[in-house]
Amino acid sequence: MTKRTRRDVLVGGSAIAAAQVIGFPAIAQGKKYDDGATDTTIKIGHSGPYSGNASAYGNIGRTIEAVFKMVNDNGGINGRKIEFITYDDGYSPPKTVEMVRKLVEQDKVLFLFNTLGTPPNTAIHRYMNQKKVPQLFVATGASKWGQPKEFPWTMGWQPDYVTEGAIYAKHILATIKEPKIGILMQNDDYGKDYYNGFIQGLGDKKNLIAQLATYEVTDPTVDSQMIQLKNTGANVFFNITTPKFAAQAIKKAFEIEWKPAHYLNNVSSSFGSVFRPAGIPASQGVMLALYRKDVNDAQFASAPDVVAFKAFMAKYMSSFDIKDDTHNYGYSVTHTLIEVLKKCGDTLTRENVMKQAASLKGFEAPLLLPGIKINTSATDFYPLQSVQMARVKGESFEMFGDILSNESA
Amino acid sequence: MATTMTTETSAAGDPAALPGLRRPIPKWIWLGIIFAALLPLIGGQTGLISNFYFLQLSLMIVYSIAVLGLNLLTGFNGQISLGHGAFFAVGAYVTAILIDRYEMHYLATLPLAMIACFIVGYLFGRPALRLEGHYLALATFALAIAVPQFLKYRHFEPLTHGVQGINIFNPDPPFGLPLSPDQWLYLVVLACAVVMFIVARNIVQSRMGRAMMAIRDQPLAADTMGINSARTKSITFGISALYVGLAGALHAIIFEFVSPDSFRFELSIAMLVGAVIGGIATLSGAVIGGFFVQFIEKYADALTKWITSTVHLPIHLEPWTIYGIVLIVLMYTMPMGIAGGLASLWRKIRPPG
């Protein structure tokens, strides 16, 4: 079986269900398919909120669909067309379960890709792992998607909140003298993930935290929390808030003339929904961790991936707003999947899809910031674990410092 | 509805003389139920009906129970509720917490979830019933919005697990029955539904049911007749919540998961739409309503996509366009709901005599 080319095997008949050679998976020996894959197609399932409160994220699904249309127009992946089936789950966990069961049991997709949201993904987490169908590159930053031992069929993509929180803590310890830290946190899973990561990053210096103020997502404002935090005399502010509250916090800090070193989570890295509503002058100097390029930033205007992305948007999504970050995200994550499928070769089994997804080494997906790479292994199910610190300057981000990583084994 | 006054007075005389009341359940309905109960054997074992279809059928029945509950309140008692999703959530959480924390048998949690919802419904109904019409609708709407927030509330977190929700396990069929979990749950849900529909039929045809309708049609006259309006209304509210709570509990068992996001206010609206579209104040309307919620509303997006691509429409339709059109057309052509529409159609085409 050594040195046999794909064509030999084809001629020799597909009955040679050769054992995969560990370590050289790209040279798949013979064709092997699970449900959803054939000589001509690969069926991929997805569910996301096209209706309801979270429907702004529906554009991620639409972008993925358009990217696959582009891929198919260019001949597909290894000669196979992608059949992308996406359903509306309205961000409702039971509806996600139903749609995903339809995808797996009726439509018989090879795997699920980029299903959106922490609660919907939580609802299908166990089902996918029982059925042994990959739940690949889910669109949520929760830290629980990287547990290859307990959940070998589930993998995240973006830097998780714990990682990001730890990176801020390390940055504070390294750059600020005698830090006294005030934290504003949304009181839910997402907020706690960030907070736990931050505590991990501080290590034995937890006492640097002067105060932890929390708010509920239903609160009208965070004004009183901001005044409390200012009164502690903190010189560092870690702002764990979603866009609406991030804008409020930035604005309030400016109004009460509290000028700490301001760290804002990546969740709120938007000019449209955070910095402009808060006021550009109030936002100057706010620091945050980024991992993707802002395609509207002049410094990346001639980067090949940005040029390609803009061409894609113009041809396949001309009626959508290129400033909407969900397109950027969808484009980048879909290209990561395309890389995985290319490496799968003709062995389109669920097992091989997971194996290839877990052996990405230094992959630079389009639109990632220079120097940020995707690394995974059989024990590392966190593809992106590096970020670049940046600060708001004028109406764009100014990068500073090195790439910061919290890469796990 | 014939005027309820006559119903009340003649009921005092001879119940058997009442047209349309106390009739036995028609044979074809029993045959239908038996057929439905045999489905797992007919379709499941032969592979004609996949587990996924059983899931969908179970859900349809669950929504039928919920719509039936809302129908008792809105259809038969004339009180509008935009908040029954709240009771659905309470039922689901009671079951999930009892299974998760107290390791109770899932079937044993059902009556407890029902009782809990009856109490919550009754207590909510009592003061809220001073509100009439639109005001009641608003109060219940507030309830629907508040309950998911309550479930996230910090101090309940040890029980509810906050936004994370609770994972429970799907029960396996007992006694080594050769059924898949989906088929078994379908049977459980079907059995619950049959019992609940028979009970509802009896309620509606009883003294209580006539009092409910009298209050709906002629509140003043009902009071004059000596009906305790407040009590009847709150009990109706409680019973209605009990039905919806059972539906919620079954829903939790089917999905093995509850979270606050599962029970947003859209659910309450879906139930009301199901009740109205199915046919308000009819029991068969609840089944149609359940079908509508499960197969039309949930697949609104897929339906729109499918039609766009089959007809090759040159325009991009928003996900819920077809759903909206269906709703408007139905409301214009069948103002009494599908059950009412079919009944009047039957009256027109039926041979005279």
Alpha carbon B311 to its chain's center = 34
The CA distances from residue B249 to A229, B62, B171, B188, B258, in Å, are 43, 9, 14, 12, 10
Nearest to A187 among B154, B259, B264 (CB): B154
Nearest chain B residue to A121 by CA distance is B164
Q: Does residue B50 contact residue A105 with C-beta atoms inside 8 Å?
A: yes
Chain B contact present for A51, CB below 8 A: yes
ipTM of this complex prediction, to 2 decimal places: 0.81
Q: Which residues of A touch B322 (CB under 8 A)?
A: none
Check: CB of residue B72 under 8 Å from CB of residue B215.
Answer: no
Query: Which of B56, B256, B319 is nearest residue A50 as measured by Cβ atoms?
Result: B319
Q: Does A178 touch chain B (CB under 8 A)?
A: no
Question: Which structure tokens are listed for A395?
Answer: 């109406």
**Taking CB atoms and an 8 Å limit, are A50 and B301 in contact across chains?**
yes
Q: What is the pLDDT of residues A112-156, one digit of tens each?
A: 999 998 889 999 999 999 999 999 999 998 888 999 999 999 999
Q: Do A123 and B302 touch (CB under 8 A)?
A: no
Is B298 close to A95, i.e. CB distance below 8 A? yes
C-alpha to C-alpha distance for B159 and B163, rounded to whole angstroms: 12
Chain A residues touching residue B257 (CB < 8 angstroms): 93-94, 97, 122-123
Q: Which of B115, B67, B35 is nearest to B267 (CA)?
A: B67
Terminal-to-terminal C-alpha distance of chain B: 21
Tracing tokens 């994972």 back to the chain, one arrives at: B167
- To the nearest whole Å, the CA of B247 is away from the closest chain A CA by 14
Q: What is the DSSP pairing of strand B166-167 with strand B257-258?
A: antiparallel
SS3 content of chain B, % helix, strand, coil (to 5): 80, 0, 20
Residue B42: DSSP 8-state = I
- Rounded Cα distance, B51 and A127, in Å: 14
Torsion of CA B67, B69, B71, B77, to 10 degrees: -170
Chains A and B form CB pairs within 8 A to the count of 76
Min Cα–Cα distance to chain A from B163, Å = 7
Of the candidates A51, A126, A188, the beta carbon closest to that of B167 is on A126
Amino acid letter, residue A45: G
Would you write out chain B's pLDDT as a tens digit for each of its 353 residues? 344 443 444 334 444 444 445 677 888 888 888 888 888 888 766 777 888 889 999 999 999 999 999 999 998 998 888 989 999 999 999 999 999 889 899 999 999 999 999 999 999 888 876 777 788 888 888 888 888 888 877 778 778 887 778 888 877 788 777 888 888 999 999 999 999 999 999 999 999 999 999 989 988 898 888 888 888 889 999 999 999 999 999 999 999 889 888 888 888 988 999 999 888 888 888 999 999 888 887 787 777 878 877 877 777 777 778 888 888 998 888 888 888 888 888 888 877 65
Nearest partner of A110 among A31, A24, A38, judged by Cα? A38
**Domain residue ranges in chain B:** 25-298
Instruction: List residues bridging with A264 in a β-sheet.
Output: A239, A288
- Rounded to 5 degrees, φ, ψ at B209 are -65, -40
Residue of B nearest to A104 (CA): B52
- Which amino acid is it at A336? T
Contacts of B149 in chain A (CB under 8 A): 216, 218
Amino acid at A306: V
> For residue A72, which amino acid is it?
N
Q: Tokens at residue B65, please? A: 């129970």
Question: What is the reported pTM?
Answer: 0.82
Domains of chain A: residue spans and CATH = 31-159+302-378 (3.40.50.2300), 161-290+390-405 (3.40.50.2300)
Strand order in the sheet with A261-264: A209-215, A181-186, A236-240, A261-264, A287-290, A386-393, A396-405
Q: Are A389 and A401 in contact (CB under 8 A)?
A: yes
- Two structure tokens written together for A66: 């358009």
Q: Kindly determine whether residue A105 and residue B50, on different chains, have CB atoms separated by under 8 Å.
A: yes
Residues 6+ apart with CB under 8 A from B176: none
Segment A44-81, tens digit of pLDDT: 999 998 887 777 788 999 999 999 999 999 999 999 99
Contacts of residue A286, defined as CB under 8 A and 6 or more positions apart, other chains included, come to: A239, A250, A262, A264, A275, A391, A392
- According to DSSP, residue A34 is labeled -
Indicate the CATH number for domain B25-298.
Answer: 1.10.3470
Tokens coding B202: 């009896």
Distances (CA, A) of B276 to A11, B132, B268: 63, 19, 12
Please state, in angstroms and rounded to a whole number, the distance separating the CA atoms of residues B337 and B343.
10
